[in-house]
Structure 1
Amino acid sequence: MHALSTEYNILYNGSIALEQGKEALNASYFDNYWDVLPVERMQLSEEIIIPGQSKNENFTRAEEKAIKAIQKHSMNIEGKEKNPQMDEAYMLLGKSRYFDERFIPALEAFNYILYKYAASDKINQAKVWREKTNMRLDNNELAIKNLKRLLRQEDIEGQELADATSTLAQAYINTKVIDTAITHLETASQVTTSHDERGRYRFIQGQLYNKLGLKDSANSVFDKVIELNRKTPRIYMIAAHLEKVKNFDPEHDDRYEVAAFLRELEENRENRPFLDKIYHHTAEFYRNIESDSLAIAYYNKSLRTNSQDSYLKAKNYETLGDMYFDGSVYADAGEYYDSTMSVLPLNSKPYRVIKRKRDNLNDVIFYEGVARVNDSVLNLVHMPDDQRSKYFNNYVDELKRKAEEEKERTEAAERNNGLVTVNNQIGRSAQGGSDQATLFYFYNPTTVSYGKNEFVKIWGNRPLEDNWRLSSKGVSGLNPGNTDIDIVAPVSDDEKFNPDFYISKIPTEEKEIDSISKDRNYAYYQLGLIYKEKFKEYELAKSKFLNLLESNPEERLILPSKYNLYKIYELLGEHDEAEIAKNNIINTYPDSRYTTILKNPELVSGRDENSPQSLYEALYVQHENQEYAEVISKSEDYINRFDGDAIVPKFELLKATAKGRLYGYETYKKAINYLAVTYANTPEGKQAKNIESNILPKLAGTEFVESVDSLSVGHKVVFKFNEQKQDEILGFKTTLDTVLKHVKYYKLKSSLDVYDPKTSFVIVHGINSKQVAENFEQLIVKKDKNKIKPPYFVVSSTNYQIIQIHKNLDAYLNLYNN
């Protein structure tokens, strides 16, 4: 009675719950065909489950049934189990815990079977499941040892042998012993009674052969998967076909045959769920045979399938980005890299790699935009009147044609919308339902699409952000130059379809045209440097520098452009052009730094003390020594001397910092703003933008903090010197240091700070009490009192910072009557 009740009631219901749980796991599991598939279709979750909770209620129910069977129907009489279903109950208990990812309790259940039911017919299954659990706990070596002993000592066959060898194969895959794993998978695929398992094991075999570089063996195994056809899930057959396509050898295989086969896969209606993968591998095939246009078309087809495989989408976007990058179409490459990052996990390693690629494109995209827009404007400026009129007449005709088409589409959409609404109302009325949903604007895709188009026509492609209607926001990426053309403001239809309206927007003032030309020339120069230094695209760099020299550039850009052209000619092996460029520089600019380098090439390999980097480092040392006036003067000289060089923003930032230290907050604020605007796309410009946005607001306050006598508030004793010679100040500091060594109970030290061009401070540090600071002279021993004669004032560390930032010492002294 106990055995029958256990088997046909409790364990039966528990087994049903276990199977339902496994089906739910399989339905939610997504195989990653970009890597070797696991033998068992089970995805481990990273979600943390607290005790008493379960990832799947079906497994909880199965476990409860197993426990109920053990508690109510176990018949352990004189140390011997009389109910033959108890081993089945413990197997159900272990499996339910295993699939619920509670591996330690599952291991206990399987071990109990091995300990208590050695004569059970399920003993071999228990051993296999125990080793599967050990592998989940990363005990792969132990699993291999136990499974090898099982296969050696027991004469097992059929599905038990398939389970044991496939589990052993997974353990070898985990430990990177691929050839042995292939052998055991071969055994498992021959003896298993499940065609699903056979197809999976064969496919994994092919993947492992590919990892070993044995493409012929891999293709042979994939053919066996394909022969199973409808006996296994169709995805295995499709994946096997695509793996064979990946193994295509363009030197020996027939590319036309492969292309025809891919078209056949694409056109087969049964393959529609797998078109994302088929299109991707078709694109890979065409890229492999250097048919880039077809490759791009198929990558985009794969993206348009709305695939659920995020890795596939990321791979498509990244590959398209790389192709456009290799073709030097950097703006499009940047957009594809942006899309790649949108489907990758944030801050993952692939995400960081793509982000680094994308960040490197920021400058080139910006300057290409400036050059393109300004070139277009200048072309219109220099275009003869008759050609200009013809150009805009054609443009207006095209606008009218598009407007007519849009009007027809809108009218058709409104008619269809009315028809759909009426039909829906009739249908809903017949069913007694509400018609409110059909009337809601956002429930109708036609009206939504129309609204989006109208928004873009009026406002342009504006980013989703606060205050998006402000004219200062502009339309992203459309006006990188410094033109005054308002391309954002909405226009009436009369203006929109009037050629004279557009002609009136073309700049006519010489000053404005010169500004556009200068911006364009500077963009050419920066693009030449970027292509040469960052991307090693020497032909592109050469074309940019040549375009610049043909555009009547400012004098400051001519010499560095010629020198960079000389270096590019050398790198391209165009020695005759390099010699001409070298002689031109030497003859035209005999006193320049570049001529010195060309005449003395050893300066390039050695340490050139007159190089921009060396001069910057020397100036930085002076800044550290508080020689701020000298730093400001020399920075201005170097900025003019190296105008156009990449190091100029560094000098600007150093000069801004020195000005802030010497003249205070307002001067520093102006200098930082100038740097952020003028050199916006350099690292120094971005740093200045960050200072302007995040740091300057925190330094803006000028209110002094009331000093309190607290041991936690630092105070300083400050000796003020006006227009004294540096030697005198240093002499006093040396004397003060000697006196401070004799002070008991306090570890005091002094420093020299510059306040403004005429005032310096010698400061005593190490006092944490206002009262002690005010009675500083009482700390000095009697023999040293005559050595410290200059007057001093006391200030808290917070107020001293405010004094140095805002240069408001007089206000502080008047406020506190020091």
Structure 2
Amino acid sequence: MTTRNRFSKYLFSVFLLGMLVACSAERNTFTSRLYHNTTARYNAYFLAKEKIAEVEQNIELAHREDYSEPLPVFFPIDSATIEQNEGLIEDAHGMASKAIDWHKNSKWVDDSYFLIGKIQHLQADFDDAINTFKYLNVNSKKKDVRHQALVQLLHAFIDLKKFDDAAYVIDFLSKETGISKTNRQKLYLTLAYYYEVRGERDGIVSSLDKAVELTSNPKEKSRINFILGQLYQRAGFDAVAYEYYQKALKGNPPYERAFFSQLYSQQVVELEKSKDFKKVRKYYDELYDDRKNRDLRDVILYEKALFELKQDNQDEGIRLLTLAAKEESPNPRQKGYIYHKLSTIYFDEMKDYRAAKYYLDSAVENFKETDRLYASIQLKKKVLDDYVQNFEVIQKNDSLLHLASLPRDEQIQVAEAFIKSEEERLIREAEMKNQQKSTGIFDNLLAFGGRGGGSSFYFDNPTAMQQGSIDFYRIWGNRPLEDNWRRSSKGFQEAIGETLDQADSIENTETEEQPEIVLPDLDDLLNQIPSEKSVLNEMKAEMEESYFQLGKILYIDLKEPNRSIGYLNRLLSDYPQTPKKPEAYYTLYMASREAGLPHGQYKEILNKDFPDSPFTKSLNNPNQGSSSQDHRAAGELYRQAYELFNQKEYLSSRQLVRRALEDYPLTRNTEKLWLLDIMVSHKLDGENAYKLKLEQYLQSVEDKDLEKLARKMLALVAGEDKPLQANKNLDEKAELDTPDTLLVAEEEVKEPSPYKENLEQTHIFILALEPKQSQEAKHLTADLENFHSRHYANARLRTGTISINKENTLIIISPFGKADKALEYREKFLTEFNSDDLPPEIKNSSFVISIENFQQLNKRKDIEEYKAFYKEAYK
């Protein structure tokens, strides 16, 4: 080796050693920073970011869009999808951690912390995620990272429905400057999500309008435009909706979204307004025939059915919905909408509650618990389930009791006639199938060989196959196709059992195989006719209860007083000794009065035969209710139930409420018990069921104070904790239920305040002026700025003006971190602030208000209403 080569190797070794020393994470040299910045960004941080992006892509792919509802702003995160991507998430977390641990002096440490916070958020580890984002906001020197963290923190608070904290973050971000275009776009999307969770459509629209202007990704822009189109269409702005649907077609959207964009575009502009019905129907038919729309045929038939229903073509609408339900589709939720629509038609238009119940069952099977309609369907389904259960008890027991009353020979004749009718039905079905069978070129060719038309070749003729099967059944009974089927060991009763199981099935799948015979056996039918006296009595008792329950369900739940009267009269005629008489007469009185029929006779019967019944007393003294003893007992149950409610023992609370309503149906506490039951429903059944029950309650409640309270609860349902707060006034009125106060006149129910006391929230200070005073106070703002510079130089206080109505212009000073800071400011303002433009009465009427309460004030426009709350909460 030459001297030159040895020297070169020596220099390389020295250089390599220098680089290793320079790459130490503890050194702060230019070489070290360059190395760690490059390695952190293009290795660990880059790979972590890519893996998180892949997880988010998988979340999007796992989500099935529901185009019948406004699309969600963000793709919902399913825990099952997160579990499936656990490997990717762990890899991303490991990479981001390495970027922090191995490259401590790089510029990408804060960015990597943000990725870790995002991973924690995806895994629903909210506490750690929130702490990570808060840490970055306080400690990061990179403005973009701070803003990213704050937006993601806002997202987390919205997920948790911590709206106070979310409002604070929104207020904080509103004062930040230099927010990048990317972060502003994410912020507006998150604001839209905030309003979406709160159910405020106007807020969603305004936020998305701003977000779409900042969105550069064509596919994301297409989706936002589609959501805006849906929202504007539901608001009745068809022309605006059309523009957004057209924009949604740009950016190469998925085929399904492009399909719905085009469909809804046509609906808002042409289809809904066109009088050329033939043209509209042709449009839907062309969509259906397009092979690209094969997976969307159920949607097309559904939309066409809705069109026909709007033209009052009910039969055609039902036919199309039935065809839509039979179409194969990868989207079960669409089937849910189809069955739900069929159920609604049979419920509202045809009053066929039995059919409505079974269609609703099918709808529930196709919806998820998180779908919007699920809760309201379950609520309606409970009523229909009760109706059908009692209806079918009557139908079944009435037939069996009639058969039991016949002589044996007549019973045999009825059973044989039933079997004969079943045979004829099966033959008719086979003939219809034979007629509907398609005839193609191969059928025509076979016809010349004596096997055409499906008529003479046995296995091409469903009618012949069915007849053969019936003949087989007559000789051998119901037996499946198997080897050694003639064995005598094959039990005849075993075959009958199989037949009965099949007979109970409502729906059988059609196949091209030999039809399966489900004819019942004569002896089995005869054995089903009851003969023992105890069984007959039990069936009569079941019918007695069902007649009574149907009468109540039809009157109370289904608002069908005429049909209710029929069942209750049948109860009284068939079961004259029923202990349900008092309530039956009471319900007959109420139903007849509502139906505009004679009803006084029922009151006379109650007074003559049941003078001590609570139902009689209720009719005679509708304002008094039942006896004091019943009222006291119901009141005690109410108090216990409310205490359980406050202890979050919701199921136990519901049981007590239901017991009170069952044992004491007519007291002055009844309507309050109903309202408490609705409060429990909010906790157990969800917000949709809560809203629906409140709406139903408002249709029947007679106590005006409780009506006001219920309306206020309904108005306040946007905030999760507000209905509960509203009902504190109900608890105050519960003192009426104690023995000491039962005989005292009821005190007035106080209307619940829409405002909420939260002294820890960000507050603002407000001066309320008339518009004329505001215009004349030319120097007031300058005086305020001078006051702030003297006393609050480092507080970053801002002064603004807003007109909330024609009578009031508000001067706003903000922000104050908590209520005590705002009140301290007001005290100093009252004692030390002077301005010729500010009258003393305006100065003294100043007040402070939290951010959330200010949003309420801005909506309600009633300053005096807030001042009443302010005097109680802050003085």
- TM bucket by the smaller chain? 0.3 to 0.5
Higher relative contact order (CA 8 A, sep 6+): 2
TM-score, reference length from structure 2: 0.45
Q: Which structure has the bigger radius of gyration? A: 1
